[in-house]
Structure 1
């Protein structure tokens, strides 16, 4: 299940996304776009009834006020997944790739390789945004957070590591660099 988190405090959003990732949920921090069915859980300090009604009427599936208890947050996420009728994934697939979310083992064409944590997080991010160019800044923010000392060279290094593993697996999936824009996950047949 993918969770779209609406949170105006970037540091809290980064911490919550890490919490969700540890529980094997895919999570993104943004506003709902028209027509998307991704469950939205709003976390806010606004606790007036009219604020809750407005948030729910604007597309949120659930609304929690701060401060909150992480266990309650995760219980609400589980409830959202049941309400959506979705099954939590234990693997992600794209093209000929299959990534185990439990072990970070990447399989393609009968071969497998274990990904380091950041490599797996990068691949999850690219799969979740397949067909979308992700800037180095976006990747830095999502994988390392706003408070990190990581730089664009970190992104380039992990893209290189991941490309080598895709090459080892002889996968039809590749990471294409788009000059001055970022990276795009593609299948060879789609080129």
Structure 2
């Protein structure tokens, strides 16, 4: 089992990353605003199932790679650092899109399509796999027990964090969109705060050492 202090930091990192705008968040916000909360929740179910798919694949993959290739930790750490810095840049790059600007002239989708698109949006998003492969190893240590068990533990925690945040997003999408449209300055604050935290996580990851 992963110690509570390590798990607490992972929860914070997972929270920061889940509120970083991406395909999942854009899709959920779009469907929640244009088709209502019910459609948002159906879409969220698909997204969560996509996370579970990635977790199973990555957990078994990490177990094989980390046990077979000792320097894999360094490779994954480097990828993770680059990925976090990329996310930080995406948050503040010029002319970046406001995720709350959605096209309201969209047709209504069936529950099956909402679930399927939500699932595929997550499964086919390479950033999700990169996050798991590059971030999980920073918290997995042989002295904590089975690598597979630790990976699955982190996966479950990440899904719970992601589900909780996205659940709130579906509930409040319309009100949040209205708030940001009326207070554009807060969008800049949110972007720079996000970029600062992601950069801190990248630096921490870059200087972390395998034990």
- TM-score (ref. length: structure 2): 0.30
TM-score normalised over the length of structure 1: 0.32
Q: Of the two structures, which has the highest relative contact order with CA contacts closer than 8 Å and spacing of 6 or more? A: 2
Instruction: Return the structure number with greater helix share.
Output: 2
More strand by share: 1
